[in-house]
């Protein structure tokens, strides 16, 4: 059998398996991300059926998956919404950073992975999965709830933090000097400011450049521009993902809505490949030694996200049940955590165990998050029924 035929068979098997896993995830009401990661473990080095003929395609497809994930995330926000979100949620956002990055930083330092490992693991445990959170809120009919704007504001803040964090991480992982890292941050901040100004004042012109009544032309222009921007951003050490995110912000109005509808199937396809690629780089035998630490991180960061959501919702006068729902909605980790760990895969400064820990942690949190969001209301109802009823006060004559 020639190499082309073998590669097509392997690629077809991977895609078909991903389709089955996605179907299973939909049936049980979970995000498909943990199952895609398991699929990567199944087909990867040390897996049950290791595949070796499709590395070239899966590597570039995984990169495209990250770009599309961040592009569509940017399309969900306008520059005005980002600025308003920052104004509303900056205090909660800072609390979110401190509480949720700290467990990852602490575990990395305890395990002797040094400052670089601490920087990576702090990001992995900090960032919630916007995709999983949005899907869970929609599935549970909570998009109109009072606490939902609080949750979305925190997610917006996290996305902006990522726009600054990813260039720093990229610079550190490739071994640049402190001055180089600060330069990358300066470039990222400058680009972010420019994009926000352009989006606020000239967003209609950016949208007009990519818009087209012909779906094929529209798709080619949007995807081509996203890859160009991501490539130039990567060349400037600003992170391809951040470049795609900023382009999404600059596209607004009906053009953004149409681009989202057109690109969603491509995003889902390439994002699935991205998660598989990450699993392919993780040897299943490396997971048991770090499972205990993954559980520790899962417990700790479930608690810290609950505290973050509870406090943020309480600041705007939302009751206890709404506060609990806000905290539970933020628990899930997913695509961003894997993006962060994926950047570290090829770095010599990162311990191999860190990749296994990040994979195991995301597997746990991508399951725990949706389950916690579904169970928070029944749990609150159960707690109310267990409370003793109030005893009537004695009358004056007794």
The residue assigned the tokens 């053009």 is: 255
Spatial distance between the Cα atoms of 343 and 120, rounded to a whole number of angstroms:
9
b/e burial code for range 311-334 (CB count within 10 A of at least 16 → b): bbbbebebeebbbbbbbbbbbbbb
Contact criterion met (CB below 8 Å) for 307 and 327: yes
Please spell the DSSP secondary structure of 337-398, one letter per residue.
HHHHHHHHTT-TTS-HHHHHHHHHHHHHHHHHHHHHHHHHHHHHHHHHHHSPPPPPPPPTT-
CA dist list (Å): 6 to 2, 40, 53, 59: 6, 18, 7, 17
For position 181, what pLDDT does the model report?
63
pLDDT of residue 299: 97
Per-residue pLDDT tens, the chain, 398 aa: give them. Answer: 667 787 788 888 888 888 898 888 888 877 787 888 888 788 766 667 776 667 777 778 878 887 888 788 778 777 676 677 667 778 898 999 999 999 999 999 999 998 889 999 999 999 998 778 877 887 788 877 888 888 878 887 887 788 778 877 877 887 666 566 667 667 767 766 776 677 667 667 778 888 888 989 999 999 998 898 888 877 766 667 777 877 887 887 788 888 888 888 888 888 888 778 777 777 788 889 999 999 999 999 999 999 999 999 998 889 999 999 999 999 999 878 888 887 787 676 677 788 889 989 988 998 898 889 888 888 877 877 776 654 444 444 43
What confidence score (pLDDT) does residue 390 get? Answer: 46
Q: Which CATH number fits domain 27-49+56-381: 3.90.550.10, 1.20.1440.230, 2.102.10.10, 1.20.1530.20?
A: 1.20.1530.20
Distance, in Å, from the CA atom of 126 to the CA atom of 154, rounded to the nearest integer, reads 12
* Residue 112: per-residue pLDDT: 92
pLDDT at 178: 58
How far is residue 357 from each of residues 127, 162, 362, 370, measured CA to CA in Å? 16, 21, 9, 21
Q: Which two tokens stand for residue 78?
A: 């306008």
Q: Is 395 left (phi over 0), alpha (psi -120 to 50) or beta?
A: beta
- pLDDT (0 to 100) of residue 398: 39
């Amino acid at each position: 059998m020639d190499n082309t035929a073998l590669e097509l068979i392997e690629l077809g098997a991977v895609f078909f398996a991903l389709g089955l896993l996605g179907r299973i995830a939909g049936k049980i009401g979970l995000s498909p991300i943990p199952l895609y990661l398991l699929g990567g473990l199944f087909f990867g080095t040390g897996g049950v059926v290791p595949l070796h003929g499709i590395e070239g395609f899966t590597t570039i497809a995984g990169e495209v998956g990250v770009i599309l994930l961040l592009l569509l995330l940017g399309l969900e926000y306008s520059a005005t919404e980002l600025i308003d979100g920052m104004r509303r949620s900056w205090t909660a956002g800072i609390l979110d950073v401190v509480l949720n990055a700290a467990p990852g930083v602490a575990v990395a330092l305890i395990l002797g992975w040094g400052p670089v490992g601490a920087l990576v693991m702090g990001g992995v445990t900090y960032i919630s999965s916007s995709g999983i959170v949005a899907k869970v809120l929609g599935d549970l009919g909570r998009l109109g709830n009072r606490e939902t704007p609080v949750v979305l504001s925190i997610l917006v803040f996290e996305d902006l933090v990522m726009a600054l964090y990813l260039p720093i991480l990229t610079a550190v992982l490739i071994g640049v000097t402190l001055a180089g890292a600060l330069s990358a941050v300066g470039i990222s901040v400058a680009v972010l400011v420019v994009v926000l100004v352009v989006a606020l004042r000239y967003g209609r012109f950016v949208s007009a450049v990519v818009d087209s009544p012909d779906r094929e032309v529209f798709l080619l222009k949007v995807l081509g521009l996203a890859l160009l921007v991501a490539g130039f951003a990567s060349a400037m050490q600003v992170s391809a993902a951040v470049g795609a995110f900023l382009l999404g912000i600059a596209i607004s109005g009906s053009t953004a809505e149409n681009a989202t509808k057109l690109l969603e199937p491509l995003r889902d396809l390439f994002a699935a490949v991205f998660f598989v690629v990450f699993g392919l780089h993780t040897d299943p035998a490396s997971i048991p030694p770090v499972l205990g630490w993954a559980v520790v991180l899962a417990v700790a960061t479930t608690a810290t996200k609950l505290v973050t959501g509870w406090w943020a919702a309480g600041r705007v006068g939302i009751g206890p049940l709404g506060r609990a729902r806000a905290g539970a909605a933020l628990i899930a980790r997913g695509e961003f955590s894997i993006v962060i760990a994926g950047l570290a895969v090829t770095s010599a400064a990162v311990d191999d165990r860190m990749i296994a820990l990040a994979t195991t942690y995301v597997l746990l949190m991508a399951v725990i998050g949706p389950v916690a969001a579904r169970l928070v209301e029944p749990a609150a109802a159960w707690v109310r029924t267990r409370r003793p009823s109030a005893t009537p006060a004695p009358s004056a004559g007794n």
